[in-house]
Structure 1
């Protein structure tokens, strides 16, 4: 029988969301993740399989628990702009990983379609563009 897990998987997943939203997938090494999450490398690999496995787990959690409720409760551009930082992982995943990883692409495309439904394509594009500009301007 294996040793019991020494960390809360959901807490680690939420922390991974924050890390990936701040530095993106390619901006984080496994060492960065181990340090930032406070888990041992072996535990990370045993639980999530790989850096990509952790990323997908974090992305799915984020889309389900952060983005979906946001789109359900803030149906206009201005309200979503006030929640800007909560959209950062969506923005980074769309720009960085969706073009390279079909699974990420499928997840992000579904959310972007929902964003288009909620706001309309022009407003959705404006929202993401403004959030991108805010990240560049403030260095977040």
Structure 2
């Protein structure tokens, strides 16, 4: 019988969402993840299988628990523009769409579904506008840090 897990998998997944939303998949090494999540390398591999396994787990968690509730709140006439722009709510979606979806069919399917739901909630023009505004805000914030 194995030892019980010494960490909360959901808490680690939520923390991974924040890391991937901040620096993207390619911007994080396994050492960055281990240090940022407070895990042992062995625990990461045993629980998630690989860096990609952790990424997919975090991406799915983000889509279900972070993005979907925001989209549901915007459906039915509510203006979710400010909510979706605030606090980086779209950051992981953007980074995954640009960095991983072109090369990873599984990520592309997840992101494609999320973009379809974003279009349905806001309308395609407004969704495109929000994604563009958030992308510009990320670029602006990174240039002011230098």
TM range (shorter): over 0.9
Is 1:93 aligned with 2:93?
no
Number of aligned residue pairs: give it.
140
Residue 134 of structure 1 is matched in structure 2 by 137
Instruction: Report what 1:37 is aligned to.
Output: 37
Q: What is the CA-CA distance between 1:52 and the residue it aligns to?
A: 0.2
Q: Does 1:113 align with 2:113?
A: no
| Distance in 2 (alpha carbons) for counterparts of 1:81 and 1:44 | 30
1:28-107 matches, within 5 Å, as 28-75=28-75, 76=79, 78-83=81-86, 85-107=88-110
Stretches of structure 2 that go unaligned for 5 or more consecutive residues are none
Structure 2 contact 73–80 (Cα < 8 Å) conserved: no
CA distance in 2, matches of 1:34, 1:27: 14
Distance 2:13 2:111 in 1: 18
In 1: Cα distance, 2:130 partner to 2:43 partner = 38
- Bigger shift: residues 51-60 or 71-80: 71-80
Distance in 2, Cα, partners of 1:134 & 1:52: 27
Q: What is the TM-score normalised by the length of structure 1? A: 0.95
**Alignment partner for residue 125 of structure 1, among 120, 123, 128?**
128
Q: Which structure 1 segments of 5+ residues have no match?
A: none
C-alpha RMSD of matched pairs (Å): 1.4
Q: What's the counterpart of residue 22 of structure 1?
A: 22
State TM-score, norm by structure 2.
Answer: 0.91
